[in-house]
Structure 1
Amino acid sequence: MTAVAAGPEATDVPKDPAAADRPTLRELAERDSVDYILATFVDMTGRACSKLVPVSAAEELEAGGMGFSGFAAGNIGQGPQDPDLLVLPDPDSWMPLHFLQEGLAMVQCDPHVEGRPWPYAPRVILRNTLARLAARDMTAMVGAELEYFILRRTEDGGIATGDDEDTSPNPCYDARGVTRMFDHLTTVAAAMNELGWDNYANDHEDSAGQFEQNFKYADALTTADRVIAARYIISMIAHREGYVASFMPKPFTERAGSGLHMHLSLWDGGTPLFPDAEDDRGLGLSETAYGFIGGLLEHGPALQVFLAPTVNSYKRANATTTVSGATYAPQMSTYGGNDRTQSIRVPEGNRVELRTGDGAGNPYLMMASALEAGLDGIDRSLDPGDPAEPGGNSAGAKRLPMTLLHAVDALRADETILGCLSGDREIGEYYASLKETEFFTWHNRVSDWEVETYLTQI
């Protein structure tokens, strides 16, 4: 794939008039006894990139940003010849991390190039989508369900469940499994609460070694920042305990994989736009909500390249069975009520749950693309039809992609979603090329299965 030497014209991120009243990074650091700041941004894959900045340089970080070689940092639309990314911190994302390391804090940053927000940066992409919503007097609220595995390395270099006694084929909600991992789960939960995230549940999920830890919904940007921070925090706590925390969608063939389900709603100020008690379809939704769902369904195949962005994602999404008896990964673009076989579930009339995302998803791109799809549905008054029957059966429903390559093809065939990242088709093409290359890199490697199946077949 050819690196992008120069991107499209960046979209200016709107300035917040309240910013002048916020404390500076130094003031936040002094308040929270912080000595070092992780100035953090993510590339297209969602990988957190940081520099450790001493508080003595906080003013420089805030005034001019911290410089990174974008090409070295990862997939973010730059080549080795391009100017530095200067990442500017967002004080609203300030997170003291004393529970990991005394005197440490993290702040999420927006990459800029030559004085303008860099349109390939995922956090900038989400900001641009939220600005489009704001122009219509809409805000987006998002809740994220974070699933992951706690594993350990084996002597032969493989992986195994972190808890040796976690062997049941049906361990979901198992009280003993949660209790055996009490120290890890409560350490993470306490960290979330110390940061003000309102952790409200921690449970054993469907697979041996798999857990979910929930925190309260918030505005889309805040929730995306928290997903990035949560992955980092959970990984570091697990590392300290001698475990490996994995958000890989499907690390085990026979077990269900890890999703990243998103609960989405739109608001006008303090007024929710999705509920309607008079809904004759029985789900308690407004016409705005049905248009939003219509957009998600219409663009469902193309969205998958952002919601399920790895080769491994489609081992989860298209698994035929698991030892527990269910995959919890919908294969059709359908919607329904409180039914987990649908790609869009409506647990209550105040929100919709998009269930096709997985643990590898970049939350900024997941939210931006889903919100753009929903907004297109509202603009076009797309009617999703009647809710699907249980099991995801619906006449005319679109099949979701079978592989990452199918997802890339679906993105390229959908002009609306291809052009939704910072409003420019070129960025969608860049992302599609990244994912196409990823697929063929995997496809060109000979696997153990191929050797076992074909070596002496003829």
Structure 2
Amino acid sequence: MSFVERHGLWSDAQRDAAAEIAGRIEAGDIEVLRFAFPDQHGILRGKTLIASEAVSCLWNGVNMTTTLLAKDTSHKTVFPVFSAGGGFAFEGMQGGADFTIVADPTTFRILPWSPKTGWVLCDAMMADGRPSPLGTRQVLQRAVRQLDTHGLEFVAGLEVEFHAFRLDRENLALADSGQPGTPPTVSLLSHGHQYLTELRYDRVEPLMELLRTNLQALGLPLRSLEVEFGPSQFELTFGPTAGTTPADTMVLLRSAVKQICQRHGYHATFMCRPRIPNVMSSGWHLHQSLRERSTGRNAFVPTEPGAPLSPLGMAYLGGLKAHARGAAALASPTVNGYRRYRPMSLAPDRASWARDNRGAMLRVLGAVGDPASRIENRVGEPTANPYLYLASQLFSGLDGIERRLDPGPSADAPYETQADPLPRSLGEAMQCLREDPVLREQLGRGFVDYLCHIKDAEIARFNLEVTEWEHREYFDLF
């Protein structure tokens, strides 16, 4: 009996999808299959199996070392994995033992840029068939199940900003190795500051067409390709999807864009604020609503003239606002991301909401009879682990619904309205997460401690570095 059968891990739809993948492998359509899982940072990791091995591994999973779950963003292991317990509060992590990633066959794709290569997203499971307590996709799945009990379904659309450059030099000399190594040397594709001008778009059309054709071939719900304000900065927008699909879309999107660009002489980065002159920060704007499972109706549509959203929508909004500080670490999980929060910058600096105002953290778009009524959260950066970011929204919004929280009046002057300030650093954000009882309970106390330990290690490494600003400011003066 296979691992999947033994532990009852698949639905009928997943079994059918697995059989279809096996059929395509046997027909010769696929020569290798990539098994990928999103790690704690939302980075895809996994193994590539040749066709003759892939069918069996669909049903039995692929073994991975648990140290992959113990790494920070430099890929350094920051837990004492060879000590008793491996530095974790549960069994199965000591000594770099194995865990198993199990495919979700309904996520299968053919990668259009890699001949006869299939791709499938996986969930992290312990060796005994239990979901890994550290599996971030399962965190969002749990949040979605909680929403099910209310007869509601999560719907989200994505607006994702990023930078793409011409790749001048990969910097792969021996001296460039390290953890991390020397980043590539790049040059601009556009000077920037000509937001949405047609001539700028036409100049970068070769890249845009390269991305469009590949992303559409992947089946992603791409809506638009845009020239953003900053130098070599762009934006992709995606239509609304439900449940965990928006997060699955985001992890595949980031990996796909980077792979496509690398193969064609470009370098793409979702880093919030790259160190280039005249840079503009990149954000990830998350449009979200809830719909009734029984009718498919958008539950945020207001029924009273002049109301921003329905009462349920306003309570959900109240939850997002109440937990904005605690959720900030999941929306913006890097040291670099906190350089974006500044007044008068189209990025929020405090926990406020407003009707159709891009200066507020929570931009509300709603009207009687408008099926697209929704909340746009503008706090996220595009490096966020999408499963944790979306889960933080659901846990916060559900708390607002259950407690009928009032979000207060619209902040029509969002950079002047009195409101709780968003954290100004990753360290402050992690402390806010630790102190938010609802998010700590919903995410799991052990999971929050685990995530904070990893981020504390990153912050400690950052604090050991002497920045160029410090050197320029003090080296000659003192």
Normalised to the residue count of structure 2, the TM-score between the two structures is 0.85
Determine which of 407, 425, 436 is the counterpart of 1:414: 436
1:345 corresponds to which residue?
A: 363
Q: Give the secondary structure class of the aligned counterpart of 2:334.
A: coil
What are the equivalent positions in structure 2 for 1:229-308 lying under 5 Å apart? 229-252=252-275, 254-269=278-293, 270-278=296-304, 280=306, 282-283=307-308, 285-308=309-332
Q: Give the secondary structure class of the aligned counterpart of 1:433.
A: helix
The answer as to whether partners of 1:334 and 1:392 remain within 8 angstroms in 2 is: no
Give the deviation of 1:255 after TM superposition.
Answer: 2.1
Give the deviation of 1:83 after TM superposition.
Answer: 3.3
Give the deviation of 1:70 after TM superposition.
Answer: 2.1
1:87 corresponds to which residue?
A: 101
2:467 corresponds to which residue?
A: 447
The answer as to whether partners of 1:67 and 1:85 remain within 8 angstroms in 2 is: yes
The answer as to whether partners of 2:61 and 2:101 remain within 8 angstroms in 1 is: yes
Deviations 1:219-263 (A, max 9, x none): 131111111111111111111121110000000363221111111
Question: Is 2:244 aligned against 1:221?
Answer: yes
Question: Is 2:418 aligned against 1:405?
Answer: no
Give the deviation of 1:454 after TM superposition.
Answer: 1.3
Q: Give the secondary structure class of the aligned counterpart of 1:354.
A: strand
The answer as to whether partners of 2:284 and 2:380 remain within 8 angstroms in 1 is: yes
Give the Cα separation in 2 of the matches to 1:223 and 1:121: 17
Matched pairs, number? 432
Identity of aligned residues (%): 26
State the one-letter code of the partner of 1:133: L
Q: Give the secondary structure class of the aligned counterpart of 2:235.
A: strand
- 5+ residue gaps, structure 2, are 1-6, 73-87, 172-182, 368-372
What are the equivalent positions in structure 2 for 1:421-440 lying under 5 Å apart? 421=443, 424-440=444-460
Give the deviation of 1:136 after TM superposition.
Answer: 2.2
Distance 1:191 1:348, change over 3 A: farther
Distance 1:108 1:32, change over 3 A: farther
Give the Cα separation in 2 of the matches to 1:189 and 1:316: 28
Distance 1:393 1:122, change over 3 A: same
State the one-letter code of the partner of 1:44: Q
State the one-letter code of the partner of 1:378: I
Give the deviation of 1:162 after TM superposition.
Answer: 3.3
Deviations 1:318-348 (A, max 9, x none): 3x6xxxxx63210011111111101011133
What are the equivalent positions in structure 2 for 1:324-403 lying under 5 Å apart? 327-349=345-367, 350-395=373-418, 397-403=419-425
The answer as to whether partners of 2:315 and 2:401 remain within 8 angstroms in 1 is: yes
State the one-letter code of the partner of 2:229: D
Deviations 1:164-222 (A, max 9, x none): xx224x22112222112212111211222223323221010110101112222211311
1:100 corresponds to which residue?
A: 113
The answer as to whether partners of 2:32 and 2:48 remain within 8 angstroms in 1 is: yes
Give the deviation of 1:44 after TM superposition.
Answer: 1.0
Q: Quote the RMSD (CA, aligned, Å).
A: 2.3
Deviations 1:120-173 (A, max 9, x none): 11111111111111122221111111211012455697754431xx224x2211
What are the equivalent positions in structure 2 for 1:113-192 lying under 5 Å apart? 113=126, 114-153=128-167, 159-163=185-189, 166-168=190-192, 170-192=193-215
Q: Give the secondary structure class of the aligned counterpart of 1:271.
A: coil
1:323 corresponds to which residue?
A: none
Deviations 1:18-73 (A, max 9, x none): 44444523135457922211100011111110210122223322211000002136
Distance 1:367 1:265, change over 3 A: same
Question: Is 2:230 aligned against 1:207?
Answer: yes
Question: Is 2:49 aligned against 1:53?
Answer: yes
1:43 corresponds to which residue?
A: 39
Deviates more, 1:33-42 or 1:76-85: 76-85
State the one-letter code of the partner of 1:242: G
The answer as to whether partners of 2:354 and 2:414 remain within 8 angstroms in 1 is: no
Give the Cα separation in 2 of the matches to 1:317 and 1:162: 24
The answer as to whether partners of 1:151 and 1:159 remain within 8 angstroms in 2 is: no
Deviations 1:284-327 (A, max 9, x none): x1111111111111100111101000000011223x6xxxxx63
What are the equivalent positions in structure 2 for 1:73-84 lying under 5 Å apart? 74-75=70-71, 79=93, 81-84=95-98
Distance 1:192 1:153, change over 3 A: closer
2:370 corresponds to which residue?
A: none
Q: Give the secondary structure class of the aligned counterpart of 2:162.
A: strand
Determine which of 99, 124, 133 is the counterpart of 1:111: 124
State the one-letter code of the partner of 2:283: G
State the one-letter code of the partner of 1:65: G
Q: Give the secondary structure class of the aligned counterpart of 2:114.
A: coil
Give the Cα separation in 2 of the matches to 1:300 and 1:267: 23
The answer as to whether partners of 2:284 and 2:382 remain within 8 angstroms in 1 is: yes
Deviates more, 1:309-318 or 1:384-393: 384-393
Q: Give the secondary structure class of the aligned counterpart of 2:219.
A: coil
Distance 1:20 1:243, change over 3 A: closer
Give the Cα separation in 1 of the matches to 2:392 and 2:28: 36
2:81 corresponds to which residue?
A: none
The answer as to whether partners of 1:418 and 1:429 remain within 8 angstroms in 2 is: no
Q: Give the secondary structure class of the aligned counterpart of 1:289.
A: helix
Give the Cα separation in 1 of the matches to 2:196 and 2:416: 28
Give the deviation of 1:361 after TM superposition.
Answer: 0.5
Give the Cα separation in 2 of the matches to 1:13 and 1:296: 35
The answer as to whether partners of 1:171 and 1:208 remain within 8 angstroms in 2 is: no
Distance 1:39 1:386, change over 3 A: same
The answer as to whether partners of 2:352 and 2:362 remain within 8 angstroms in 1 is: yes
Distance 1:13 1:378, change over 3 A: farther
Give the Cα separation in 1 of the matches to 2:24 and 2:396: 37
State the one-letter code of the partner of 2:211: V
